[in-house]
Amino acid sequence: MSPFKLWEIMERANTGPFCEDDDFIYKLFLPKMREVIAKHGIKYDPQTLLPADDDLADRVWQAAVEFFLAVGVLNVDTHRRILIEERELMEALYHAPGRYWVGAGRDMRAWSHRHVEDTQPPFCIFSPDITCDEEIFLPMSIAYIQEPLADGVCAPILEETMGLKIKSGTPSEMAGVVQHAMSLRQAAKLAGRPGIFLIAVGTAQSDTGQIAVSNDEWGVRQSDGRLIGALTECKIDNELLNKIAHCVQFGCHIGCLSGAIYGGYAGRAEGTAILETVYHLIGLTIYQASFQQSFPFHLHYTSNSGREMLWLVSVVQQAVSRNSRLLSTSNGFLNAGPGTEMVLYEAAAHGLVSVVSGGDLWEAAVAHNKYRNYATPLEARMACEVGHAVARQGMRREQANEIALHLLERYEAQIADAPRGKPFQECYDVRTARPQGWYLDMYQKVKEDVAALGVQFPY
Question: Stretch 356-364: mean pLDDT, rounded?
Answer: 98
Q: Answer yes or no: is pLDDT of 260 > 70.
A: yes
Average pLDDT, rounded, for the chain: 96
Position 163 confidence tier, pLDDT thresholds 50, 70, 90: confident
Position 4 confidence tier, pLDDT thresholds 50, 70, 90: confident
Q: pTM of the full predicted structure?
A: 0.96
For the domain 115-132+226-452, what is the CATH code? 3.20.20.460
- Rounded CA-CA distance 245/49 in Å is 39
Element (H, E) at 356: helix 341-356
* Order of strands, sheet of 235-236, starting from the edge strand that comes earlier in the sequence: 80-82, 73-75, 235-236
Query: Going by C-beta distance under 8 Å and a sequence separation of 6 or more, which residues neighbour residue 389?
Result: 455, 456, 457, 458
Q: Answer yes or no: is pLDDT of 73 > 70.
A: yes
| Among the listed residues 291, 285, 279, 289, the one whose alpha carbon sits nearest the alpha carbon of residue 4 | 285
What is the reported pLDDT for 410? 98
Tell me how crowded residue 320 is: count the other CB atoms within 10 A of its CB: 30
- Rounded CA-CA distance 346/404 in Å is 10
Q: Answer yes or no: is pLDDT of 291 > 80.
A: yes
350 secondary structure, DSSP code: H
Q: What tens digit of pLDDT does each residue of 315-356 get?
A: 999 999 999 999 999 999 999 999 999 999 999 999 999 999
Position 8 confidence tier, pLDDT thresholds 50, 70, 90: very high
What is the reported pLDDT for 391? 98
**Percent of the chain predicted with pLDDT > 90:** 97
Question: Stretch 185-206: mean pLDDT, rounded?
Answer: 95
Express the helix, strand and coil content of the chain in percent, nearest 5 each.
Answer: 50, 15, 35
What is the reported pLDDT for 101? 97
Max CA pair span of the chain: 60
- Hey, where are the domains in the chain? 115-132+226-452
Q: Answer yes or no: is pLDDT of 116 > 90.
A: yes
**Percent of the chain predicted with pLDDT > 70:** 100
Q: Answer yes or no: is pLDDT of 1 > 90.
A: no
Three-state SS at 102: strand
Question: Stretch 227-250: mean pLDDT, rounded?
Answer: 95
Position 2 confidence tier, pLDDT thresholds 50, 70, 90: low
Count of alpha carbons within 13 angstroms of residue 206, beta-carbon side: 15
Tell me how crowded residue 15 is: count the other CB atoms within 10 A of its CB: 11
Rounded CA Rg of the chain: 21
What is the reported pLDDT for 145? 98
